[in-house]
Amino acid sequence: MKIEQIKTIVLTGLVLLSIVLFWKIVTFQQNYGFARDNQEYVNEVNIDKKKDIKELVYPMKVVYRVDDDVYKGTQNMEDITKIVNELHKWEFYSFQNSTDEFNYKFRDIADNQVMIFQYPGDIPFSLTKSIFNVTVESQEIPEQAVFNQIFIFRSDVINDDGVVYFATSDLRSVIKARVKHNYLDDFQKVMDEFENKGYDYIALSNNIGKYIYVQNEEMKLPIFQFHTQKLSYDLFKEALFPDPNFVKQEGNSFTDGTSLLKFNVVTDSFTYVNTSIPENTEENISDMILTSVQYINSHSGWTDSYYYSNAFQKPNKVVFQLYLKNYPVANDHSRMELEIGDNKVHSYKRPFVEYVSFASENITIESGEKIIEKLNTDNIKFDDLAIFYSYGPKKVMQPSWFYKQNNSWRKYSDETTRRE
């Protein structure tokens, strides 16, 4: 082979090599820019579990109206889950507005037996296909509507075809859906069992047509000590930053120049803020919830037991509430809170610990009627009343009555329980 041919081959090879190297550099820069700008890029970090929306959206209370003034109910999430999981087996179809029909069946026939599922916050109808087995086309679902309660009348679950009503909290907007299941009337057995095992409840109505369902008998719940197991800072750093290699640490804070991750060792929680994502953009609640769930799933971040609590606009926030011993925990640092902008997560606040309980004993919780009397005596207005766990001294979780006011839950007093 002549030397000129060898030179030509070598030169051609060098040119091709330079093209390949140039392409790799460009591709790397593009991918890095994409990783920083597009939040869909996620490091493969598994902190705990992934969850579907249907595993996160459950009622806070289930109440069964047995007769005009006879109600049975529960807040226990284990019991609630078993009942709602029956609904997950049903086929939902044919959605239509049915406010007048519902009001006749619920308000005008006061002894009409009905099971009521009360959710902690509004749920967009567009999410029903993710929560239940909905078999209609998306355009048939009233996506702009929301619901806060589900009503199932005993007379509507017969044979294999029935009716379910989705209602707003004030019952001013009600949408009916048809349901099918081979053994739909088995749900009447669920109602019978619930009537026997549920706690006595009372129903209060206010001047805007909203009903409040409150447990009205004493009950025993465990008070328990707990300790927490901290999750690694590095685990969240690897999960939340697009490229952890560009992250600098200063004490309990991490930053890559665009995002800041700050751990609070006093509250065992952290705040992550991505300043490149704007706040308070126009968002709909459905997209916000989906974005939040997908974001937490991206790093398998479902530790302990969290359930959807509520979603708000301006600021655009989605909240997931921690549950321990099957009851919600009322504490500023017992929630996951995500603020959304441009359909991405602007900020993310949550605990970075897992809870381990031990050494429990039972205490007695007063009846709801007594708490209502005290609230009325103190002239305290409330939108709801429920039992929550809250932090006590010496790392103790203690159940107490909380009342809801302006979308916030407040503890009534430390005197609402007594030791046995």
pLDDT in tens, 5-53: 555 554 555 545 555 444 444 343 444 444 444 444 445 788 999 999 9
For residue 332, what pLDDT is reported? 75
b/e burial code for range 86-118 (CB count within 10 A of at least 16 → b): ebeebbbeebeebbeebeebbeeeeebbbbbbb
Q: Of 7-21, 128-142, 375-389, which has the strongest mean pLDDT?
A: 375-389
Question: Do 128 and 243 reside in the same domain of the chain?
Answer: no
Q: Is there a single domain that holds both residue 145 and residue 230?
A: no
Q: Do residues 77 and 181 share a domain?
A: yes
pLDDT over 70 at 313, yes or no: yes
Residue 27 lies in a domain: no
Helix, strand, coil proportions of the chain in percent (round to 5)? Answer: 30, 40, 30
pLDDT at 9: 56
Collapse the DSSP code of 346 into the 3-class scheme (helix H, G, I; strand E, B; otherwise coil) and give the result.
Answer: strand
Q: Is residue 6 part of a domain?
A: no
pLDDT band at residue 288 under the 50/70/90 scheme: very high
| Confidence at 137, pLDDT banded by 50, 70, 90 | confident
pLDDT reported for residue 144: 81
pLDDT tier, 344 (very low <50, low <70, confident <90, very high otherwise): very high
pLDDT class for 115, splitting at 50, 70, 90? Answer: very high
Q: How many CA atoms lie within 13 A of 42 on its CB side?
A: 17
Residue ending a domain, among 217, 247, 271, is 217
pLDDT score at 338? 98
Are residues 239 and 122 part of one domain? no
Same domain, 252 and 209: no
Mean pLDDT of 178-204: 94
Q: Are residues 178 and 154 in the same domain?
A: yes
Query: Which pLDDT belongs to residue 58?
Result: 98
Average pLDDT on 375-398 reads 90
Give the pLDDT band (50/70/90) at residue 362.
very high
Is residue 184, in this structure, part of any structural domain at all? yes
- Whether the pTM exceeds 0.85: the reply is yes
pLDDT band at 372 (very low <50, low <70, confident <90, very high): very high
Least trusted range by pLDDT, from 51-60, 151-160, 173-182, 201-210: 201-210
- Residues 227 and 369 grouped into a single domain: yes
- If asked whether residues 229 and 357 sit together in one domain, one would say yes
> Does residue 136 surpass a pLDDT of 60?
yes
> Is the pLDDT score of 205 beyond 50?
yes
Q: In this structure, are 248 and 213 located in the same domain? A: no
Amino acid at 259: S
Angle, CA of 219, 223 and 228, to the nearest 5°? 145
Does the residue 379 lie in any domain? Answer: yes
What distance in Å separates the CA atoms of residue 237 and residue 229, rounded to the nearest whole number? 18
* Least confident interval from 101-105, 127-131, 169-173, 412-416: 412-416
Please tell me the total count of domains within the chain. 2
Mean pLDDT of 60-66: 98
Work out the average pLDDT over 314-331: 94
- Asked if 160 and 226 sit in the same domain, the reply is no
Residue 70 has pLDDT above 80, yes or no: yes
Residues 308 and 365 in one domain: yes
Distance between CA atoms of 4 and 83, rounded to whole angstroms? 84
pLDDT at 40: 46
143 part of a folded domain: yes
Q: Is the pLDDT of residue 226 over 80?
A: yes
Segment (H or E) for 297: helix 285-298
Q: In the predicted model, what is the mean pLDDT of residues 88-110?
A: 94
Residue that finishes a domain, picked among 217, 248, 271: 217
Most confident of 56-65, 105-114, 241-250: 56-65
Residue 263: give its domain's CATH number. 3.30.310.160
Give the pLDDT confidence score for residue 124 in this predicted structure: 94
- At 317, list the tokens: 């926030």
Residue 351 buriedness (CB in 10 A; 0-12 / 13-18 / 19+): buried
Q: Which domain holds residue 114?
A: 53-217
Q: Is residue 32 part of a domain?
A: no
The pLDDT of residue 32: 40
Residue 2 domain flag: no
Q: Contact at 8 Å (CB) between 171 and 103? A: yes
Question: Three-state SS for 226?
Answer: strand
| The predicted structure's pLDDT at residue 248 | 96
Task: Please state, for a pLDDT cut of 70, what percent of the chain lies above it.
Answer: 87
Is residue 282 helix, strand or coil? coil
Tell me whether residue 15 is in a domain.
no
pLDDT band at 394 (very low <50, low <70, confident <90, very high): confident
- pLDDT value of residue 406: 86
- Of 169, 194, 217, the residue that ends a domain is 217
Mark whether 223 and 106 lie in a shared domain.
no
Residue 196 has pLDDT above 50, yes or no: yes
Residues 6+ apart with CB under 8 A from 183: 160
Q: What is the mean pLDDT of residues 60-64?
A: 98
